[in-house]
Structures are given as structure tokens and as C-alpha cells.
């Protein structure tokens, strides 16, 4: 139950990140409701174990690429919530100088090559990153997240094929949260498991419980080890669920409240807490402390972001060209 | 005036004051077309139960069912390609690409197949399809959800490109596009969806390729497209108080483009400003300017012909930067005033 | 050995078409060498059984879509060689009024929705044709040809998925002639058989000897029957080989002469002739007669094409818009 | 003159008469860049043993091996995307899209990712990539193998677009493009591949964004791109015999576009004709015209500013139709003469 190689400190940190994700997004939601944030956002509440479990298998200088639903991946990879929040507020000190916003948060220095507003848009990039790693013999791995919906884009196909024939160090993580906006996986796919598509590229394909940090970690760890050893790419499907609507405008007519409730009963954070408690790694007080500290971090990030300066409109062209 | 006549001609419309939003007008056109012709059907992402990312197709799934309002997987290449294939063999598909940005994934099927098939086959195939897509910035959705790519399609022989600015035009042009036997790219603007205007009940069409003078004036011809039409009209109101009268022309159909209406206008005003949201460099404005200065209007020109358009920048997220990236009413006022007053 | 349901007349006709394809292309080649034809061309000599065997399973009003290497499919579907040849010469009476040429020959009235200059370009179209057939309840089938190279395009993936979830009457035929231009299938694919990709779309996938008319016919017939019965799409891989270079400019540095010779020893036309002889369906004299008649048809098509008028340059815009 | 100075500056070049074809010049640039910087590598279809569809990369596979001259499957989206991903993480890829037509399959990765990533990430990423691709008609390859799509890319903030017309420029501009830290679309013309010209040995660059006057003249400014440059020069030779002197300007880099050189030229000649192969409607010519008439040159204009460009038609197969579809020398002669003589 306690995956080999994970220290108590690492597990504590994982739990902390899962809290940060949830709290960051709950805060984002209320800021939006208050009209402090414009645009749109895609919340990953309910999917925290997938993001954090996957990133837990990486070294700090490995790469990730992420999606429109990317806050979790970003925090999982170690981003600073205050710089994320500042970006969310469109501030100059934000990760993208206010130019990217929620859907494009990147932390290039931290190995996060960006959220992506385009479904499957990051998949070909990650294949190129894998190529780059291999050609420069960097010994790194590139992990790329995408949703179930992305697995029906042509880019998915071309990318997995290329990574397979060139044996690139890329781990493809399909976060199957059962819907692509309103499209249920049952309607969008003729197959039961998206990981079955690995057959078409002769790479390992596994499906795991995406709400179980350990299950995700173990599967990704195996794939990362493989990739680092030069044995090529893998496809991992994490089964999870988003508690919120697709984005702010979603009336959720395509699913029932009961379904949402049933998944909420499988809260990945509560699940991990139970696991840690049962394993005697943390006690209730420590759990509460972690949650409280996370809460404080998020509050501080809002204060930081609100106080920060907007980018100067006169600087608008900065960053278009190098 | 012209509008009312058309409406009357189309079926004795009397409730001339009926107002709809632009989104409702589009929906009504879809509804009428699907009712009238069973070959018309829709396909796209989340257009069914969800009602479309902007609610445009709301209720159509309930009315016409899943066969004719087809939710697709996220597969923009085959959305376009399936529409072309169906159009070649007797259907009249109306495809939706959820944001114009994503049309970058459909380009091969639209441009190398849909647009060329008829010609490549010696005129022996017909590809009657409409591809609807919402464009434009102003929603805080940043660089990958704010594209205005109409200029690309204007450059493709075989395609038509329509870009309505009012609910009335949206309905009439969409019905005309669906009637048309060619592939038509129909560009809606997200910020226009909630704007209201007079829309007659019943079936009517606005002919493709007729520019319209949205406001007559003597001092400067402003050629504006899509969201820039209401902005130009607002600018005209402001300048009218200074005694400056703008003539605002809306091409409505960008391809085939009715340059004659603009030429006539410029012959009258002697000056022209072209306004669009898409980045200035390589935008549709170049086409408009080039048509103005190549022919009959040249000898009447009293000032440089200018473009006011988006900056050459991906659309930024920050609200103020986003506003800065594309022309606003005050920018049109400033540029128009400068041209009229010779302060260039 | 004699597939059920095929009459002697049908087999004779199939053999005739295979001769027509070979002779058409040999003629095309020499006309090009003489400078009578410009542009480029892609010859399918050596692949005749795949084209003809597949079309043999169709009714006249079924649809096909084809590729840059499309002469065989066109003849297989019943096109008139003289109108093809006229198109090849760029004449107004040609199938495309001289506007399309070799790479775009279409015979819309005959159910051939066109060759295609874009690798995989016809695959999405065929999916739409399948949809159209289904929505109009036409009872037809759409058969789409493509090469091995096309199976690595994103469009392949999106199209097969859509046809599978909507259960469209489309038969996807991958003519695996071992190379995509210079790229050998071994380098382009991480899997041994392209038909294995059917697994990703939960549709039947089979690989057959593409140089054996009967093998191709049987597999396609099964798929067509299935499609017509509303049971959805299939993927068929026909293993074959092109004897000529990819196009006129190919120096063929990527393969050996021995390899080409070995495949030439497996000539699909000679193979069918042997089968028909052995089955006692045709004798040597009849075989010779069929070949001679085909030869005459091709000669006549050249005469027809050479005598035909060029399109009037003033008509150039005809056909751009309806 | 300028050319020779540059060459001398670049390394004491003496064999000023060395001639290469345009294809050889491109190859030499690739060879020099790969030799100089191990981060530079190539990927594309059939660029290895085959040597490229037009033989441009011939011998590079043998010299640099399969790791640096990478044959890909037929997967244009991931060719572009892999180049972007590699460029973001320390490599300097030179991707090839076998025919410009097929770039329609790469649009999302190029336009929504490659072009925007740097900006969307607040300037914190760099995407130094070059995408080479052969464009143009004249080979009898018909509508899906003859595209000239440069205008699309000119309209995309974040991209640069280069389109050389001579072997000298091809080499120097390609080396500059590979040195550049931005994504550059490098458009080669199939019919130019065999044309010859002076190309110095050794490493030199031609700066991006400098238009060049290829022939000075007093009567009419002809702005021509790519294959239209030699055609315009030929037309100039013909008209010179009639005493008409054309000034031929080649932008060379279409984005960022050096409009100033053209403006200076038009101030001198008072007249302008823009010539390109791509269809006129929505083409780059609109941009050139709009820049001419928006500023300092306006007051010097003595005649309408005209475009001579491709017809709005997919490229036909038939040889004569194909010729008819795009400007030929005689068309340039006719249009130029008419403008100079005031017969418009
Ligand atoms: C190419 C493209 N098509 C469509 C969209 C609009 N869109 C954004 S997210 C989304 C659903 C994505 O579903 P999935 O990949 O399962 O991710 P999830 O939202 O469930 O996390 C859609 C259709 C897009 N952003 N990009
Ligand atoms: C999208 C696209 N990419 C590249 C090409 C250039 N091209 C034409 S045919 C070909 C090889 C195709 O291989 P395959 O699909 O196996 O068919 P084959 O030629 O072997 O019949 C290539 C690369 C093209 N026409 N279209
Ligand atoms: Mg999902
Ligand atoms: Mg092949």
C-alpha cells in the first residue's frame, strides 16, 4: 500500500499538493464569481490524484505538458501558487506576464512546458520534447497529460506512432474523466478502454484508478523508468472524474447529479488521507495541519496577486518575437 | 428600408419590430433550413444536448434529434471531411467548428478537398456545405480561443466567406449560405451573439456578395467587418456630434467581395478607412484597400487610405492588453477624425 | 479456389480490367517518356489484383475513393479508359475536363469520387460518404483505398473512429505496398500488420495477399456485406508491391533490384491466369484474346485522347464555383 | 555590389563567379548550418536516402546520418509539432514539408502552438525553428501540389516568412533563418530550384526583413516575389527596349516586411504594380498595396496601384490552363506598359 521508494516526506508533500490544487481551484471559482477574474477556466477538482501521482514519478528537471484543465499538473510539477494566481489575475509578475491566463500557464524553468488551450495540442509538442531529450542525451523524461477527448484527435495518433518508432522517452497520460465537454466516452469511443489504443503503436498501455495516488504513481513510475532506460514510450489511462462542469458556462445537462455524487464519494484527497492514516504515516492532527497550511498558501497567493501590478499596455508587443 | 422591403417580399412580414439576438437569429435560420430541407443536417462538437459552446444550437437537438444534430468526437479534420463527403453525395451539411481557432485542424479537408473538388473534377461534383464558426476576442479566452482567420479563407478559390454583423444579416445570410451550392465559411462573432436587432419571422435570404451601407455619410468611408460594424457605427454617432459624417459600409460577404459599393462610396467621400479585428498585416483590409486604389475611386482620393486593425500580436489574456490588441470605438473615432481633418 | 458467387463472366471481366490497368500504365509511362504528358504520375503496376479484387465486391452504384496511385481503382470501378486517357492528356473531354490530370481522375457518375493528391485525403471524405449513405438510407457502401503511408496520418485515426462509433458503411482498404515513397513500413510502423490498428476502433481488421484477386475479393466481400447490413466499417490490409518507382523522379535508392524481382515473380495477373487455367474456366487462347482486346482498348484510348480538343483557356474559371 | 561586399565581409570570398543552382544553394546552407551547430537537425518526409522530393537534401543523409537527417512517417501535424517541441527545449530543427500544400495539415501546431508559445508564456520560451517548403505551380502537378500559401503565414503574429528568388538569397536567407530565434516559414519555389546564380562559398547571411531593389528604374515600381522576380526582370528587359524602365523590388522577407524600400521606390517612380503567383484575392499583394497608399508615397502616386497575380482558381492540370492561371512574363509586360502609358 505504501509504494516502494516513496518517503513519508514525499507522501506528505503529495497530499499538500492535492490540497493546494483543490483550494486553488475553489478560490479561482469564487474569484470568478466575484468578477475578479475574467475569461474562462476549467477546474480539475476531483482529479487531483492523477496529476500529483503522475508528477510524483518525475525528477525536478523532467518535463511535463499539460491541458486546458492544467492547474493540477502545474502544482503537481511544483509551480508556485502565487505566481499561478498572479497569472490568473493577469498580472505582470504571473508566470506568463498576464498574457496567458489560466489556459496557458507555463513554468518553463520548472519543466512545465505549458497548459494548452487546444485539445491534444500538447501531444505533438511532447513528442518533439522526447526527441530533443534523446538527441541531446539529457536523460530526462517528458510526461504529457491529455483528456479522453484528446485521444480522438489525429495528433494523438501521429504522435504516439512517431514516439514508438523512434523510441522516445515520452509518457502519454490520458486522464479519462468520462466526458469531453458533453460527450461521454461511451459515445466517443468504440472501445472500452482508451489504453487499448496502445496496441496500435506497440507500446505498453494500462488503465488505472485515477483517483488513487498510489495506483497512478506506480503505473507512471514504471513507464518513466522504461522511458529513461531508452525503452520507449507508454500510454497510461487514469480513470477519474471532474466534479465541476466543463467550464463556467456548462449547465451539465449531459449527466445526472447522482453520477456526480457517486464520484464525489470517491474523493481522491479523502482516499489518500485514509491510506496514510491506516498506514500510520500521518495522524489526524498532521492531516489537519497540512490542509491548513495549504489554505494559508492559497490565501497568501491571492493577496500577492491582488497587490501585483498589471502589465503595461505599452509593453503589449513584448514576447511576440525573440 | 431595404431590409423591410426584403422581408415584406419574402412573405408579407408585418411584425417588423420583432427583436432577436444574433445567436437567436442564427438558431432560427438553422431551424428553418432543417425544417424546409431534410438534406440539411448539423454536425459538430457539443451541439446536441449541450446546445453548443455559445448556446447557439440550444433546443435543436430536442427538435430534430440526434441524427440531424450530430455530436461528434473532438476530431476537427474529420468533421470538415465528413461534411465534404456528405455534401458530395446528396446531403447539405452545416458543420460547426467550436472556435475558429480550431479550424486550423480542418484546413486540409476544407482547402485542398472541399474548396477544390468541384474544379478538380471538371465541375462534375457539387459541395454544398456550410461551416459555421465563432471568431473573435473580447472574452478573456486568450490566444488560442480568439482567432479571426477569415483572411485565410478569402484567399482560397472555391470557398465563399460570410461574416454578418447584425441579427438580420446573420439569419438571412445563413439561409443564403445553406441554399448555396458551394462551400461557405460562415464566421460568427462571439461578442455579437447577445446583440439584438430586428429579425423578421419566416424564411428570407440576404444575397451573398452584397456589401451594405449601414450608415450614409459624406466625409469618410469606413469599411468595417463583423464586430467592427457596430463599433464603427458608434464612432459615427460620436463624430456626428462634431459634424463629421462617416459612411459605414459592411461587406457582409468577404468572398466573393462586392467592391463596387465601396468604390461608389469612396468616389463620394474621397477618403477611406478600413477596420477589422484580425491582425493588420495580411488581413482582409489589404484586399479592400487594394480594390479601392486600383480602379475608379483612385482619382477621387483626397487622403491616404488607411487600415485600422488588430495589432500583430496573439490575443493576450489580461483584460486591458486584450482591449489594446484590437480596435475599440475610441480608436476608430481617433483615426477617422485624423483622416477627415487631414491630420495624418 | 473459385470464390462463391463469381461467374466466369465476372472473372473474365476482372482479368480484362487487370490487363487494362497494366497496359494503361505502361502506355502512360511511354507517353510521358515521349514528352506527350507533363506533370507526374504514380503507377500501380504490380498492384492490379488489389484494386480489381476490391471493386469486384461492389455494386455499380456503390462508391469508391482513391489515391494518387489511382488508375487501377478507377478502372476497377468501371471507368472508360478513353476518358481517363483524355484526362491524362489534359483534354476537355477527359473525366475532369483536363483540370485534374492523373492525380485527380474522378468519375462521379460512375461512383468514383476521385483519386486524391493528398495522402489520406480521401479517408475523411469516405467517412462522410458513409454518413450520407446511412442518413439517406441508400443501401450503398463506400470503399476507400489508401496506402500504408496514409495509415500514419491523423485523418486515418479520426475517420476510423467516427465510422466505428456511428457504424457507417465504409470499407477501409489499406494497400500496403511496403513503401511510402522511400519510407519502408518497417521504419514507419511499430507494428507488424497495419490491420492490427482495427483494434483501436473495435472493427474487424484483416490482412490478405494483395496479389491474389480471390483473397482480396473474399475479404472485401465480407466487409461489404457487413457494411450493407448496417454492421459498420472494416479495415482490410492488402499486401502488395509497386514494381515501378514512386513517381517519375524516383531513383529507388531505398530498395534493391532483387527485392523488386522477387515481387515481380509474384505477378498478380499471371497468378490469376494460372488460377483460371487450373480451374478450367478459361483456356490459353481465351487468355490471349482478353489480353489482346485490352491492348486494343488502350491503343484506341490514346488515339481518342490525342484527337480530342484542349479546354479553351477562356473557360478556365468554369468549375470553380457552382 | 552589396552582395559582393557581404561575401567579402563574411570571409574574404574571392571566387565571386561561383555559380550554384537555387537547390544547391539551399543544400549548402543546410550543410553549413549543421556543421556549425550540432543543435541543428532536419526532419521531414523522404529527406534521407531519397534526397527529398526535389533532390534538395541529396547527400546530407550520407554526411550527417539518420539522427540528424530524420525521415518521418507521413504525419505533417507531428512533423511541425515535434519541431516546435524540440525547438522549445534546446534544439534548432529545420523541418521540411514536402509540398507547401501539405502545410494545411500542420496549421494548428504551427499557428496555435509554434507562433504563439513565446508570447503566451510571457516571453519565457524560445522557438527557433525553420520550416522549409517548396511552393508554386508550373510542374503539371495540379491543384493539390501547387499551392502558394505564404499570405496565410504573413497574417500570423509570431511567425516570420521568407521567400527567396535567387540562389544567393536562398543561401543567405536560410542561414539567417536558422540563426533566428523565431519560427520561420521558408518558402522555396519549385521552378527556381534549377535556376543558377552567383553564390559565394562559406557562411554568410542575408538579413531577414530587407527588401532589395533587384533592378533600378524610373518609370514604374514592380514589387515581385519568388518566381515573379525573374519574370519581372525579364519583363523589364523587354520593356527597356521600348524605353520603359522598371524598378524591380523583391521583398525577400514577407514578414516582417520592409515596406520602406518600396515606399522610397514609389516616391521616385510614382507608379506601382505588385506581382505574385498566389491568387490575387487575399494575397500578399494587398498588404504591399495597402502599405504603399497609407503613407509617404501617397502624395506621389500618379496612377492607380495595381496587382497582377494568380487567378482565383485552383491550379489546373492542363498545361495551357496552368500557364493561364498565374502571371507570365508577357502579362507583366502588358500590365506594366499599360500603367506606365496611362492606359488603365
Ligand atoms: C482542438 C480543440 N477542439 C475543441 C476544443 C474545445 N474544448 C475544450 S476542452 C474540450 C473537451 C476536452 O475533453 P477532454 O480531452 O476529455 O478533457 P477534459 O475537458 O475532460 O479534461 C473541448 C471540446 C479545443 N479546445 N480544442
Ligand atoms: C499529406 C501528404 N503528404 C505527403 C505527400 C507526398 N506523397 C505523395 S505519395 C507519398 C507516399 C504515399 O505512400 P503510401 O500511402 O504508402 O502510398 P503509395 O505511394 O505507396 O501507393 C507521399 C509522401 C502527399 N501527397 N500528401
Ligand atoms: Mg474528459
Ligand atoms: Mg505504400
Residue B121 and residue C70: Cα distance in Å, rounded?
A: 14
Is A269 at the interface with chain C, CB within 8 A?
A: no
Residue B262 and residue C277: Cα distance in Å, rounded?
A: 75
User: Would you state the cell numbers that stand for residue D64, as one nine-digit string?
Assistant: 550527417
Residues D13 and D148 in one domain: yes
Give residue-wise pLDDT tens across range D225-244: 999 999 999 999 999 999 99
Q: Which pLDDT does position B12 carry in this prediction?
A: 46
On average, the pLDDT of chain A sits at 97
CA-CA-CA-CA torsion sign (C277, C281, C283, C285): negative
Mean pLDDT of all residues in C255-260: 98
Residues B85 and B194 in one domain: yes
Residues D65 and D183 in one domain: yes
Q: Is the CB of B96 under 6 A from ligand 1?
A: no
Alpha-carbon distances, residue C297 vs C81, C87, C184, C288 (angstroms): 7, 16, 36, 14
For the question of residue B145 being annotated catalytic, the response is yes
Task: Return residues 116-145 of A near D (CB < 8 Å).
Answer: 116-118, 121, 123-133, 135-136
User: Which residues are within 5 Å of ligand 4 (an ion), measured at CB?
Assistant: C 147-148, 177, 180
**Per residue, what are the HEC states of chain A?**
CCCCCCCHHHHHHHHHHHHHHHHHHHHHHHHHHCCCCCCCCCCCCCCHHHHHHHHCCCCCCCEEECCCCCHHHHHHCCCCHHHHHHHHCCCCCCCCCCCCCHHHCCEHHHCECCCCCCCCCHHHHHHHHHHHHHHHCCCCCEEEEEECHHHHCHHHHHHHHHHHHCCCCEEEEEEECCEECCEEHHHHCCCCCHHHHHHHHCCCEEEEECCCHHHHHHHHHHHHHHHHCCCCCEEEEEECCCCCCCCCCCCCCCCCHHHHHHHHCCCHHHHHHHHHHHCCCCCHHHHHHHHHHHHHHHHHHHHHHHHCCCCCHHHCCECCEC
- Closest ligand 2 atom, residue D105 Cα: 1
Q: Which pLDDT does position A48 carry in this prediction?
A: 98
Catalytic residues of D: 76, 145
Percent of chain B with pLDDT over 90: 94
Residue C95 has pLDDT above 60, yes or no: yes
Judged by CB atoms closer than 8 Å, whether chains meet at D88 and A129 is answered as yes
Confidence of residue D49 (pLDDT cuts 50, 70, 90): very high
Residues D164 and D121 in one domain: yes
Q: Which pLDDT does position D257 carry in this prediction?
A: 98
Q: Is the CB of A189 under 6 A from ligand 1?
A: no
The residue among B200, B229, B247 that closes a domain is B200
Mean pLDDT of all residues in A78-101: 98
CATH at residue D300: 3.40.50.920
Proportion of chain B in helix, strand, coil states, percent, rounded to 5: 40, 20, 40
Mean pLDDT of all residues in A199-204: 98
Residue D300 has pLDDT above 60, yes or no: yes
Q: Does any domain span residue D205?
A: no
Residues recorded for chain C: 322
Residue C164 and residue C202: Cα distance in Å, rounded?
A: 7
What is the per-residue DSSP string for B226-248? TTHHHHHHHHHHHHHTTT--EEE
On average, the pLDDT of chain C sits at 97
Residue C72 and residue C238: Cα distance in Å, rounded?
A: 14
Say what the alpha-carbon torsion angle A122, A128, A134, A137 is, to the nearest 10 degrees: -90
Q: Does any domain span residue B206?
A: no
Residues D50 and D191 in one domain: yes
Is B287 at the interface with chain D, CB within 8 A?
A: yes
Taking residue A249's Cβ as centre, other Cβ atoms within 10 Å add up to 12
Residues B167 and B272 in one domain: no
B162 phi and psi angles, rounded to 5 deg: -120, 140
ipTM above 0.95, yes or no: yes
CA of C240 to the centre of ligand 4 (A): 9
Cα radius of gyration (chain A): 19
Mean pLDDT of all residues in D14-42: 93
Q: Are strands B212-215 and B246-250 parallel, antiparallel or unpaired?
A: antiparallel
Q: Which pLDDT does position B253 carry in this prediction?
A: 98
Contact in structure between A171 and A234 (CB atoms under 8 Å): yes
Q: Can you say how many angstroms the Cα of residue B303 is from the centroid of all Cα atoms in its chain? A: 28
Q: Which pLDDT does position D219 carry in this prediction?
A: 98
Percent of chain C with pLDDT over 70: 99
The residue among B200, B225, B258 that closes a domain is B200
Continuous segment of H or E residues that includes residue D132: strand D130-135
Residues D144 and D247 in one domain: no
Confidence of residue B16 (pLDDT cuts 50, 70, 90): low
Q: Where are the domains of chain A?
A: 8-308
CA-CA-CA-CA torsion sign (D94, D99, D101, D102): negative
The residue among B200, B224, B251 that closes a domain is B200
Continuous segment of H or E residues that includes residue B215: strand B212-215
Q: Which pLDDT does position B17 carry in this prediction?
A: 84
Residue B15 has pLDDT above 60, yes or no: no
Contact in structure between C103 and B117 (CB atoms under 8 Å): no
Q: How many domains does chain D have?
A: 2
* Domain at C8-308: CATH code: 3.40.50.970
Confidence of residue A5 (pLDDT cuts 50, 70, 90): confident
Contact in structure between D178 and D208 (CB atoms under 8 Å): no
CATH at residue B33: 3.40.50.970
Taking residue A252's Cβ as centre, other Cβ atoms within 10 Å add up to 16
B178 CA to chain C: closest CA distance, Å? 13
Residue B2 has pLDDT above 90, yes or no: no
Q: Does any domain span residue D207?
A: no
Contacts of C197 in chain A (CB under 8 A): 200
Residues B194 and B221 in one domain: no
Q: Which pLDDT does position C5 carry in this prediction?
A: 79
Is D23 strand, coil or helix?
helix
Is D287 at the interface with chain B, CB within 8 A?
A: yes
Residue D277 and residue D137: Cα distance in Å, rounded?
A: 8
In which domain, by residue range, is D234 found? Answer: 212-340
Q: Kindly report the pTM of this predicted structure.
A: 0.97
Is A100 at the interface with chain B, CB within 8 A?
A: yes
Residues B224 and B329 in one domain: yes
Closest residue in A to C198 (Cα) is: A200
Amino acid at each position: 500500500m505504501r509504494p516502494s521508494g516513496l518517503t513519508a516526506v514525499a507522501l506528505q508533500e503529495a497530499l499538500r499538493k492535492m490540497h493546494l490544487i483543490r483550494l486553488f481551484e475553489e478560490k479561482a471559482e469564487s474569484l470568478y464569481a466575484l468578477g475578479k477574474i475574467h475569461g474562462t477556466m476549467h477546474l480539475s477538482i476531483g482529479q487531483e490524484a492523477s496529476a500529483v501521482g503522475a508528477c510524483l514519478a518525475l525528477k525536478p528537471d523532467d518535463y511535463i505538458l499539460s491541458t486546458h484543465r492544467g492547474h493540477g499538473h502545474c502544482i503537481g510539477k511544483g509551480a508556485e501558487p502565487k505566481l499561478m494566481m498572479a497569472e490568473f489575475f493577469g498580472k505582470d509578475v504571473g508566470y506568463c506576464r498576464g498574457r496567458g491566463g489560466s489556459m496557458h500557464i507555463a513554468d518553463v524553468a520548472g519543466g512545465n512546458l505549458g497548459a494548452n488551450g487546444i485539445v491534444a495540442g500538447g501531444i505533438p509538442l511532447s513528442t518533439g520534447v522526447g526527441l530533443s531529450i534523446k538527441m541531446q542525451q539529457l536523460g530526462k523524461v517528458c510526461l504529457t497529460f491529455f483528456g479522453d477527448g484528446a485521444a480522438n484527435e489525429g495528433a494523438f495518433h501521429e504522435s504516439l506512432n512517431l514516439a514508438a518508432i523512434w523510441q522516445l522517452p515520452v509518457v502519454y497520460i490520458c486522464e479519462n474523466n468520462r466526458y469531453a465537454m458533453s460527450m461521454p466516452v461511451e459515445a466517443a469511443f468504440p472501445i472500452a478502454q482508451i489504453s487499448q489504443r496502445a496496441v496500435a503503436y506497440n507500446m505498453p498501455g494500462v488503465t488505472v484508478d485515477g483517483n488513487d495516488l498510489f495506483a497512478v504513481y506506480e503505473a507512471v513510475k514504471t513507464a518513466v523508468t522504461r522511458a529513461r532506460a531508452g525503452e520507449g514510450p507508454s500510454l497510461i489511462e487514469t480513470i477519474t472524474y471532474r466534479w465541476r462542469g466543463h467550464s463556467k458556462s456548462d449547465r451539465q445537462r449531459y449527466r445526472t447529479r447522482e453520477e456526480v455524487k457517486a464520484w464525489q464519494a470517491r474523493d481522491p484527497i479523502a482516499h489518500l488521507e485514509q491510506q496514510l492514516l491506516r498506514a500510520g504515516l500521518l495522524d489526524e492532527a498532521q492531516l489537519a495541519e497540512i490542509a491548513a497550511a495549504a489554505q494559508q498558501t492559497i490565501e497568501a497567493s491571492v493577496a500577492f496577486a491582488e497587490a501585483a501590478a498589471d502589465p503595461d499596455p505599452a509593453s503589449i508587443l513584448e514576447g511576440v518575437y525573440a | 428600408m431595404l431590409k423591410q422591403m426584403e422581408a415584406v417580399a419574402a412573405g408579407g412580414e408585418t411584425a417588423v419590430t420583432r427583436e432577436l439576438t444574433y445567436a437567436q437569429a442564427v438558431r432560427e435560420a438553422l431551424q428553418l433550413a432543417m425544417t424546409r430541407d431534410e438534406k440539411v443536417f448539423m454536425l459538430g462538437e457539443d451541439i446536441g444536448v449541450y446546445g453548443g459552446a455559445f448556446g447557439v444550437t440550444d433546443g435543436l437537438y430536442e427538435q430534430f434529434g440526434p441524427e440531424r444534430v450530430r455530436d461528434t468526437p473532438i476530431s476537427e479534420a474529420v468533421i470538415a471531411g465528413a461534411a465534404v463527403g456528405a455534401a458530395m453525395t446528396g446531403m447539405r451539411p452545416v458543420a460547426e467548428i467550436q472556435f475558429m481557432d480550431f479550424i486550423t485542424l480542418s484546413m486540409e479537408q476544407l482547402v485542398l478537398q472541399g474548396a477544390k473538388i468541384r474544379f478538380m473534377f471538371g465541375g462534375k461534383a457539387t459541395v454544398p456545405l456550410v461551416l459555421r464558426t465563432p471568431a473573435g476576442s473580447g472574452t478573456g479566452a486568450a490566444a488560442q480561443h480568439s482567432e479571426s482567420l477569415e483572411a485565410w479563407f478569402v484567399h482560397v478559390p472555391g470557398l465563399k466567406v460570410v461574416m454578418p454583423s447584425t441579427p438580420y444579416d446573420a439569419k438571412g445570410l445563413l439561409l443564403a449560405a445553406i441554399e448555396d451550392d458551394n462551400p461557405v465559411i460562415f464566421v460568427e462573432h462571439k461578442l455579437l451573439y447577445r446583440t439584438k436587432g430586428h429579425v423578421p419571422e419566416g424564411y428570407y435570404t440576404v444575397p451573398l456578395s452584397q456589401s451594405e451601407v449601414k450608415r450614409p455619410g459624406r466625409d469618410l468611408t469606413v469599411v468595417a467587418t463583423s464586430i467592427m460594424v457596430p463599433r464603427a457605427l458608434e464612432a459615427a454617432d460620436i463624430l456626428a456630434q462634431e459634424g463629421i459624417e462617416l459612411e459605414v459600409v459592411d461587406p457582409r460577404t468577404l468572398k466573393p467581395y462586392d467592391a463596387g459599393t465601396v468604390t461608389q462610396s469612396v468616389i463620394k467621400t474621397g477618403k477611406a478607412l478600413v477596420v477589422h479585428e484580425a491582425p493588420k498585416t495580411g488581413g482582409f483590409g489589404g484586399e479592400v484597400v487594394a480594390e479601392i486604389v486600383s480602379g475608379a475611386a483612385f482619382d477621387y482620393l483626397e487622403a491616404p487610405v488607411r487600415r485600422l486593425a488588430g495589432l500583430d500580436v496573439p490575443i493576450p489574456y489580461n483584460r486591458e492588453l486584450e482591449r489594446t490588441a484590437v480596435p475599440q470605438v475610441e480608436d476608430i473615432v481617433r483615426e477617422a477624425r485624423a483622416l477627415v481633418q487631414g491630420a495624418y
